[in-house]
């Protein structure tokens, strides 16, 4: 079978009537877009060709879905790092707040309030601040993953286009047989 070079931008084979039509379509479509060999091809030959082209199209779609899902996984990996960093900061913030505020801020609060209140109020204030920062990091990473989504949108749209293309080819083949 005569294979054409793939497009360097999307890696797909360019065809006259479909951006990713399977190899072999150039022999069926003339420059004007009219069937070239349909008048001489038998129905079994047309069905065989359609089956072959459909198989190639399915292989290309699988490759597209795979590539798109790999991109999604990379995005999830990057954002999981932000979530992990945020979780680490939450823990470090909690530990730091319990230690540092219990000593430093408690001493300052003793000047304003009773020692019994200062002992628990100081660590609580710093802990709330650090937990808010950590929660913000976790939320940012989680939102970035949710915004990206895991649905392979380009593949879904490509499959819809391919379905319309295949329906058109089947209609053309039926019309050619009835002539």
Q: Give the model confidence (pLDDT) of 127-174 as tens digits.
A: 888 889 899 999 999 998 888 877 788 888 888 888 888 888 888 888
**pLDDT score at 77:** 87
Query: Model confidence over 69-99: pLDDT tens digits?
Result: 899 898 888 899 889 999 999 888 878 766 8
Whole-model pTM: value is 0.36
Contact 35, 56 (CB under 8 A): no
The rounded distance, in Å, linking the Cα atoms of 16 and 14 is: 7
Contact 59, 23 (CB under 8 A): no
Q: How far is CA 52 from CA 18, 30, 129, 163, in A?
A: 16, 19, 63, 15
Dihedral angle of Cα 119, 120, 121, 126, to the nearest 10 degrees: 100
The rounded distance, in Å, linking the Cα atoms of 137 and 63 is: 35
List the one residue out of 6, 50, 18 whose CA is nearest residue 158: 18
């Amino acid at each position: 079978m005569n294979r054409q070079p793939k497009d360097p931008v999307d890696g797909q084979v360019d065809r006259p009537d479909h951006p990713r039509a399977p190899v072999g379509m150039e022999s069926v479509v003339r420059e004007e877009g009219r069937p070239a060999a349909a008048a001489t091809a038998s129905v079994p030959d047309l069905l065989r060709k359609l089956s072959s082209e459909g198989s190639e199209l399915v292989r290309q779609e699988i490759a597209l879905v795979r590539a798109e899902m790999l991109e999604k996984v990379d995005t999830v990996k990057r954002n999981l790092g932000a979530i992990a960093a945020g979780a680490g900061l939450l823990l470090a913030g909690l530990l730091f707040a319990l230690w540092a505020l219990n000593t430093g801020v408690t001493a300052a609060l003793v000047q304003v309030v009773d020692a019994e209140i200062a002992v628990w109020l100081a660590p609580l204030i710093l802990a709330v601040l650090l937990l808010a920062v950590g929660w913000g990091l976790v939320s940012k990473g989680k939102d970035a993953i949710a915004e990206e989504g895991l649905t392979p949108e380009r593949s879904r749209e490509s499959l819809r286009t391919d379905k319309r293309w295949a329906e058109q080819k089947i209609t053309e083949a039926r019309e050619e047989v009835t002539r």
